[in-house]
């Protein structure tokens, strides 16, 4: 990867991180409010529990994405950004432009997904 592209990817990653941190904080605050509100009846309680579970799952997805963003930022610092964690070949810049926190090249990602599908 060209060194002049690194600041662009770093900026993109920092923007994603800022957005995710804000989203995670919103989910946490919202789930805390829902937990403290008493449910008037069992139907409302079930709906609140479902909504809370949905928010927590979304929060977990955001948390995982945030972790990948942090890993990518650390790789920029160590000079390993844009290198596939599986085959250690460069990840194409076009892929990084779409997913700046990509850990794998397209070929390795396809292999990982196929493996996951064959072993549920």
What would the pLDDT profile of 37-67 be if each residue is shown by its tens digit? 554 566 666 777 766 666 666 577 888 888 8
> How many Å apart are CA 104 and CA 116, to the nearest integer?
15
pLDDT digits (tens, 9 = 90+) for 13-24: 999 988 887 766
C-alpha torsion angle, residues 54, 106, 91, 119 (rounded to 10): 60
- CATH number belonging to domain 3-118: 1.20.120.910
């Amino acid at each position: 990867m060209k060194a002049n592209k690194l600041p662009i990817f770093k900026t993109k990653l920092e923007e994603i991180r800022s957005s995710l941190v804000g989203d995670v904080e919103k989910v946490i605050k919202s789930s805390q409010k829902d937990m403290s509100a008493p449910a008037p009846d069992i139907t409302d309680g079930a709906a609140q529990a479902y909504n809370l579970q949905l928010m927590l799952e979304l929060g977990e997805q955001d948390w995982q994405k945030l972790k990948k963003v942090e890993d990518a930022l650390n790789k920029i610092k160590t000079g390993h950004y844009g290198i596939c964690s599986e085959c250690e070949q460069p990840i194409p810049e076009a892929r990084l432009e779409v997913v700046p926190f990509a850990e794998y090249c397209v070929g390795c990602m396809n292999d990982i997904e196929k493996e996951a599908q064959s072993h549920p």
